[in-house]
Amino acid sequence: MHDKQTILVVDDVKENIDILMELLGHYDLIPAIDGRRAIEIATQESNIDLILLDIMMPELDGFEVCEVLKNNTKTSHIPIMFLSAKNRPEDIQKGFEAGGVDYITKPFNPNELLSRVATHLKLRAYEKHLEAKVQEEIKKNKAKEQMIFQQSKQAALGELLMHIAHQWKQPLASLGSINNMSKAKLETDSCISKKDYLKAIQKSEDIIMFMAETIETFKNFYKPSNDNRNFSLTDSVIDILTIIEGTFYFEDIKIYITSHEKEPTFGNQNEFSQVIFSILNNAREIFNIRATISPEIRIAIDNQKISITDNGGGVEGNSFEDIFLPSVSTMDSSGIGLYLAKILTEKNGGVITASNTKDGAIFTIEFLTWID
């Protein structure tokens, strides 16, 4: 960490450098006697705050050095003051066109030089402070976004567990009925034929297999995947409906699908499924909050596009952009399901939009290629 600001002094005449070193001695000074050495130092040193640059030098003149430094991302931010005996208006103009922030002609007034140097160093200090603040805010926002993203994943996991409960409600009831019937017959010494006993066992096995397949589907849904491949949008939507059908059936929500998909899409199927899951859950929450009569969702699938329309009354206030913000929530919602959908859609190069229809809202996802 440097307490003093650093100035790179570039001049091919040693006496000129000596004068500047003495005049500007209260700064941290680095001398360079030619253009190539100046470029080398500026590229290697990360703490240079200002460059005082002569123009008339062998091999590379000051204009060329300035252009090289301004075209290099490592050095383009460093302010450059030309200090030269060339005093024609066209030379001064050329200096500014090359990227210089100031131009002082020799012989110079020492007080004027000190004043201008101080001004540019003060501006550079403000600039560095601002850069540090921006980076700090970027870091904070990145951490905040990561935290919100993790919260949205946890909220979606909670919704998934709710769907598992509804999905298993009927199979568990059926298993209970089979066991109670067999138990009742045994306790009353009723005759159970081998055929009926095997039939009960087979039915129990079928139910257990269904539940096992359901768990496998749920497990794959949140399994981390970077596997980009060709997949069917229609098949992906059907897989999601398999997960949520128990809940939607229990809440009497009807879903209609039309598909004109003619070719597969290349991308991350797992993340696409999570987007659809979030949108459908959002519609279900709206139905419950607004006590929608005869709730229904219509899904239209075409190549590179999928639209999901509900009859839940639409987005209040037409704040279509705001609904994708993590701070927007309904009374019974995590408020970040649509945020998750937006993040995953944009992560894969897609665009998600929302608008109102006559009876509700429509969410549209469009993309050319899903990439991870």
Q: What is the pLDDT of residues 159-206, one digit of tens each?
A: 666 666 656 765 676 677 777 777 776 777 666 677 777 877 887 887
Query: To the nearest whole number, what is the mean pLDDT of the chain?
Result: 82
Check residue 330 and give its pLDDT. Answer: 44
Q: Is 326 left (phi over 0), alpha (psi -120 to 50) or beta?
A: alpha
Q: How many residues comprise the chain?
A: 372
pLDDT at 360: 93
- Kindly compute the dihedral angle of the four CA atoms of residues 283, 289, 295, 301, in this order, to the nearest 10 degrees: -10
Q: What is the pLDDT, as a whole number, of residue 254?
A: 94
Distance CA 343, CA 335 (A): 14
**Mean of pLDDT values over 127-151:** 76
359 vs 292: CA distance, rounded Å? 11
Q: Of all residues in the chain, what percent carry a pLDDT higher than 90? A: 40
Task: Return d(Cα 180, Cα 164) in angstroms, integer.
Answer: 24
The tens digit of pLDDT for each residue in 237-275 reads: 888 887 777 778 778 999 999 999 888 887 788 788 878
- pLDDT at residue 153, rounded to an integer: 63
Residue for token pair 């997960």: 243
Q: How confident is the model at residue 332 (pLDDT cuts 50, 70, 90)?
A: very low
CA–CA separation, 51 vs 31, rounded Å? 10
Lowest mean pLDDT across 231-245, 296-310, 346-360? 231-245
CA count, 13 A, side-chain hemisphere, 206 = 8
pLDDT over 90 (residue 6): yes
Angle in degrees, CA 344, 347, 350, rounded to 5 = 85
pLDDT band at 93 (very low <50, low <70, confident <90, very high): very high
pLDDT at 92: 93
CB 240, CB 278: distance < 8 Å:
no
Which band of pLDDT confidence, cut at 50, 70 and 90, is reported for residue 151? Answer: low
- pLDDT tens digit string along 60-87? 999 999 999 999 999 999 999 999 999 8
For residue 331, name the pLDDT band (cuts at 50, 70, 90): very low
pTM more than 0.75? no
| C-alpha separations of 216 from 75, 87, 199, 280 in Å | 55, 80, 26, 21
Residue 278 is predicted with a pLDDT of 83
Q: What residues contact residue 23 under an 8 Å CB cut-off, 6+ apart? A: 110, 113, 114
Res. 329: pLDDT tops 50: no
Looking at the chain, list the stretches that DSSP marks H as alpha helix, in order from N- to C-terminal side: 14-23, 35-44, 62-70, 89-98, 110-187, 194-221, 233-250, 269-290, 337-347
User: Does the structure show a pLDDT above 60 at 213?
Assistant: yes
- Looking from the CA of 239 toward its CB, the CA atoms found within 13 Å total 22
**pLDDT band with cut points at 50, 70 and 90 for residue 1:** very low
The string of DSSP letters for 309-348 reads: EE-S---GGG-TTGGGSTT---TTS-S-HHHHHHHHHHHT
Q: Which domains does the chain have, with CATH numbers?
A: 6-108 (3.40.50.2300), 207-366 (3.30.565.10)
Looking at residue 372, its pLDDT comes to 47
Among the ranges given (82-96, 97-111, 181-195, 312-326), the one the predictor scored with the smallest mean pLDDT: 181-195
| Tens digit of each residue's pLDDT (9 = 90 or more) over 114-135 | 999 999 999 988 988 888 888 8
Please state, as a whole number, how many other Cβ atoms lie within 10 Å of the Cβ of residue 176. 10
pLDDT band at 370 (very low <50, low <70, confident <90, very high): very low
